[in-house]
Structure 1
Amino acid sequence: MDGDLSLDQPHTSRVYDYFLGGKDNYEADRKAAEEILKAWPDIRTAARINRQFMQRSTRYVAEAGIRQFLDIGTGIPTEPNLHQIAQEIAPDSRVVYVDNDPIVLAHARALMTASDPGVMTYIDGDVTDPAAILEAPELAATLDLSRPVSLSMIAVLHFVEASVPEILKAFLDALAPGSFLVICAITADFAPDQVLSAQDVYRVRKLPAQVRTHDEVAGWFTPLDLLPPGVVPPHRWPLGDSADFPASFDSKVSCWSGVGRKP
């Protein structure tokens, strides 16, 4: 996840923006995205469903009383953004966004405005360096880690080749009891040929990519109280949404998602 502004090298956040139909991407991003689409034609569906999961899970934790949010791997702003959903429910919500693409940073500064009395800020940081994020002065000025926080990592951990359990432990150890962890990550469990081919394209394009199994994602929630319905495709969280999708839709999305609470 390279944070420099080399526009001849694709970046995961801008490729994702292309999948969502955005315009904040460049030729290198579009070329990589088209190659990925040839390998996995349904990846646009996965990106859209991931975004919808972010919206539903944010609404859930806000309605559960959470007023502090740490969103890592934010991506280029696509309305409604996390802070807009949280502050619609609780105007005093405080949100910290984290990404390592300078273009995301520029858009965040220009487009994201918190509603009064809420607060929103942005950290230029990488999910693989939890200490730098947790020690950032912007985080200390915005969030009180002695109180519960919702930590969301949606559509980012499949770009992490390092040990995810170690990364999550570093973050969760710093968060207060009652905090939430919200995750969505790509898997090859449903459509292995397509998804693994797409993973290969990412790697050829010098973008990190590592899909995970259901058991791996479920293991990330081991120290937490996993909320029902457990680790499921994102369109099946919460449970009541499942009836709207046939079983065949799971292979189009090819993601596992879950929400856990720190006891």
Structure 2
Amino acid sequence: MIDPGLTLDRQAEVYDALLGGKDNRPHDQELAAELLRIFPGAPIAARANEAFLRRAVRTLAKAGIKQFLTLGAGYPAEPHLHCVAADVAPGTRMVYVDASARVCTYLRVLCQAPDVRVIHQDPRNVTAVLSDPQLREVIKPDVLTAVIASRVLHFLTDEEAVDLIRALRVRLAPRSLMAFSAGTSDGLPAMKVDEAVQLYTEHVGLIRLRTKRELLGLLDGCAMRTPGLVRTYAWCPFGSDDMTLAFHDVDTPQLYAGLVGFSSLWR
């Protein structure tokens, strides 16, 4: 019997279990096993998402971005994002934000570096995040920032997602960007999607799998950058050599990935 207890920790821990990590508990592993019964290819999707994250951070760091804000950080898989950025551009600054106190405690232990901060805050509360004294120690308000949001949008309602993106556009420096991924129902059997969504919602919380059109609708006013809104494993604007091989079939859940600019001035 799956433990029906709902906590902020479970989103991160179930995801970690799907990745084959160690930062999860038996009831998370049990739920992951139930999800794998529906979508046996879920670990492939999770690994493709992690590889997208690192390609995106590397791409942005190579483009000269010096400060990053990771919303819904979750348990960090190696290599850690701040390490990926620093390998490309030493001195890059990173702020991790998560609503789970357990996750933040873990992040503070693993991600100790002069230019890294961890903030325990609901990522939806952009005003509180950007006003946090720890963030202000490393993120300069007048310098463009790259937001990393790979574990956020599919846990928000449409209204919450639109509000989050609008707040980032208003509060961050001009020409800031957001690299994101989000779960989709495109190309998957409706019965499998419904069963997985119901299971996850009952034992963890809200999850919203959107079509490509629905995701694009959340991004009104944002400028999509190359290569557009594509599957995570296909997001590779400059021919990265660490491309994750993945496949698309009815047993493998999928995520879209993209990079948007918050100002039309971005080139």
Q: Structure 1 length as normaliser, TM-score?
A: 0.89
What is the CA deviation profile of residues 204-256 of structure 1, one whole-angstrom value per residue up to 9, with x for unaligned ones? 11411111110122233332221122100011112547x98687469724111
For the pair 1:148 / 2:144, whether they are aligned, the reply is: yes
Once the 2 structures are TM-superposed, how far is the Cα of residue 187 of structure 1 from its aligned partner?
0.4
Cross-structure match for 1:187: 184
Once the 2 structures are TM-superposed, how far is the Cα of residue 110 of structure 1 from its aligned partner?
1.0
Change (3 A) 1:119 1:224: same
What is the CA deviation profile of residues 146-195 of structure 1, one whole-angstrom value per residue up to 9, with x for unaligned ones? 11000111032111125211111011211112211111000001214333
Contact 2:11 2:204 in 1 (8 A): no
Once the 2 structures are TM-superposed, how far is the Cα of residue 46 of structure 1 from its aligned partner?
1.0
SS at match of 1:252: coil
What is the alpha-carbon distance in structure 2 between the residues aligned to residue 102 and residue 244 of structure 1? 31
Aligned length: 254
Once the 2 structures are TM-superposed, how far is the Cα of residue 119 of structure 1 from its aligned partner?
0.2
Contact 1:156 1:185 in 2 (8 A): yes
Once the 2 structures are TM-superposed, how far is the Cα of residue 138 of structure 1 from its aligned partner?
1.3
Once the 2 structures are TM-superposed, how far is the Cα of residue 12 of structure 1 from its aligned partner?
0.3
SS at match of 2:96: strand
What is the alpha-carbon distance in structure 1 between the residues aligned to residue 256 and residue 6 of structure 2? 28
Change (3 A) 1:244 1:73: closer
What is the alpha-carbon distance in structure 1 between the residues aligned to residue 95 and residue 47 of structure 2? 22
For the pair 1:262 / 2:252, whether they are aligned, the reply is: no
What is the alpha-carbon distance in structure 2 between the residues aligned to residue 138 and residue 192 of structure 1? 45
Contact 1:227 1:258 in 2 (8 A): yes
SS at match of 1:80: coil
Cross-structure match for 1:222: 220
SS at match of 2:13: helix
Q: How does 1:79-228 map to 2 (within 5 A)?
A: 79-114=78-113, 119-161=115-157, 163=159, 164-193=161-190, 194-228=192-226
Change (3 A) 1:28 1:248: closer
For the pair 1:56 / 2:55, whether they are aligned, the reply is: yes
Once the 2 structures are TM-superposed, how far is the Cα of residue 16 of structure 1 from its aligned partner?
0.6
Identity, in percent, stands at: 31
Cross-structure match for 1:3: none
- 5+ unaligned residues in a row in structure 1: which ranges? 1-5
Once the 2 structures are TM-superposed, how far is the Cα of residue 136 of structure 1 from its aligned partner?
1.5
What is the alpha-carbon distance in structure 1 between the residues aligned to residue 143 and residue 208 of structure 2? 33
With 151-160 and 219-228 compared, the bigger mean Cα shift is at 219-228
For the pair 1:69 / 2:68, whether they are aligned, the reply is: yes
Change (3 A) 1:7 1:76: farther
Contact 1:7 1:26 in 2 (8 A): no
Which aligned runs of 4 or more in structure 1 are off by greater than 6 angstroms? none
SS at match of 2:179: strand
- 5+ unaligned residues in a row in structure 2: which ranges? none
Cα RMSD over matched residues? 2.3
Contact 2:71 2:151 in 1 (8 A): no
Once the 2 structures are TM-superposed, how far is the Cα of residue 8 of structure 1 from its aligned partner?
4.9
Q: Structure 2 length as normaliser, TM-score?
A: 0.87
